[in-house]
Amino acid sequence: MSSPTYGVRHIAIIMDGNGRWAKRKHLPRALGHKKGVEAVRNIVRVAGEMGIEVMTLYAFSSENWNRPQEEVSDLMGLLRQYIQSDIDEFVENGVRLKVIGNYRALDSDIVAMIDNAIEKTAQNSKMTLAVALNYGAQDEMLRAVQHIAGRVRSGELEPEAINLSDISDALDTADLPPLDLLIRTSGELRLSNFLLWQAAYSELYFTDALWPDFDKAELEKALQSFGHRERRFGGR
Ligand code: IPE
Ligand code: IPE
Ligand code: MG
């Protein structure tokens, strides 16, 4: 039997806790990240089977460059492997890959791999997997402001005429449906610069589960919690 999704179209996840997962098991952090990739692979499959339209995953933030260089390069290595090994499955399962964040600042071979994967999966329509890479919501808004300022300078738009759609259309998520449910693993109660604009009326779900342990049962718990929420959007 398929699991109920309670009308959720778009789920985003702050995948946190790989380091603590490894620490608890007396393993190197890198192994925690490796397990984290396996959890990604699994949850993407599960979400596809459930009929979730969009899954947005926070994989590397614009602040994660502050980590030791060795960890950053481990993460970039895993990203290379993941794109290479999973692209065929995306094609097979109808998954369209999208990237949010300033990914063009990553190493040029990764940028090329991403562009290739985006192109190869562009026609897929079962699910969109949006991966946040070198993503920060404040950076996203800054880029949006620069884009809109350019439109104003060219005379295409008057400052007083700028509306909410102009802003959301200038964000990396412009083509995605509204964010229904934002999940964070590992017990941290903060957004860490993720989807600040898009989360305006999202339902929030925090779990103590560490990301490598987040599986189908955990996703079902989050959806069930969503199912009990009353969304008001400021109305009554
Ligand atoms: C999340 O796990 C993965 C990334 C941020 C890339 P962490 O590496 O943040 O794990 P903790 O928070 O140290 O446990
Ligand atoms: C948020 O996790 C970023 C990702 C999951 C990619 P962090 O581990 O970087 O967040 P903080 O530093 O605990 O706020
Ligand atoms: Mg963390």
Over 80: is that where the pLDDT of 2 sits?
Answer: no
Distance from residue 61's CA to the centre of ligand 3 (Å): 10
pLDDT digit string, tens, across residues 125-135: 999 999 999 99
Q: In Å, what is the CA distance from 233 to each residue of 128, 174, 199?
A: 25, 20, 12
Q: In Å, what is the CA distance from 153 to each residue of 143, 144, 150, 157?
A: 15, 14, 5, 8
Mean pLDDT, to the nearest integer, of 188-213? 98
> Quick check: CB of 75 below 6 Å from ligand 2?
no
Confirm whether pTM is higher than 0.95: yes
| Structure confidence at residue 59 (pLDDT) | 98
Dist. CA 116–CA 84, nearest whole Å: 10
pLDDT digit string, tens, across residues 221-232: 999 999 999 999
Dist. CA 73–CA 75, nearest whole Å: 5
Over 80: is that where the pLDDT of 55 sits?
Answer: yes
> Quick check: CB of 192 below 6 Å from ligand 2?
yes
Look-up of token digits 């964000």: 171
Mean pLDDT, to the nearest integer, of 14-20? 99
pLDDT digit string, tens, across residues 100-125: 999 999 999 999 999 999 999 999 99
pLDDT digit string, tens, across residues 135-153: 999 999 999 999 999 999 9
| Structure confidence at residue 15 (pLDDT) | 99
**Mean of pLDDT over the chain:** 98
For a substitution probing ligand 1, which of 184, 186, 191 has the most ligand atoms within 8 Å of its CB?
A: 186
Q: Which domains does the chain have, with CATH numbers?
A: 10-137+178-227 (3.40.1180.10)
> Quick check: CB of 22 below 6 Å from ligand 2?
no
| Structure confidence at residue 119 (pLDDT) | 98
| Structure confidence at residue 88 (pLDDT) | 95
Distance from residue 81's CA to the centre of ligand 3 (Å): 21
Nearest-5° Cα angle at 55, 43 to 208: 55
The closest residue, in CA terms, to atom 6 on ligand 1 is 60
**What is the position in ligand 2's atom list of the atom closest to the CA of 14?**
5
Q: SS3 string of the chain?
A: CCCCCCCCCEEEEECCCHHHHHHHCCCCHHHHHHHHHHHHHHHHHHHHHHCCCEEEEEEEECCHHHCCHHHHHHHHHHHHHHHHHHHHHHHHHCEEEEEECCHHHCCHHHHHHHHHHHHHHCCCCCEEEEEEEEECHHHHHHHHHHHHHHHHHCCCCCHHHCCHHHHHHHCCCCCCCCCCEEEECCCCCCCCCCCCCCCCCCEEEECCCCHHHCCHHHHHHHHHHHHCCCCCCCCC
Start-to-end CA distance of the chain, whole Å, equals: 35
pLDDT digit string, tens, across residues 156-197: 999 999 999 999 999 999 999 999 999 999 999 999 999 999
> Quick check: CB of 16 below 6 Å from ligand 2?
yes
| Structure confidence at residue 1 (pLDDT) | 60
Q: Which residues are catalytic?
A: 16, 64
Dist. CA 181–CA 49, nearest whole Å: 18
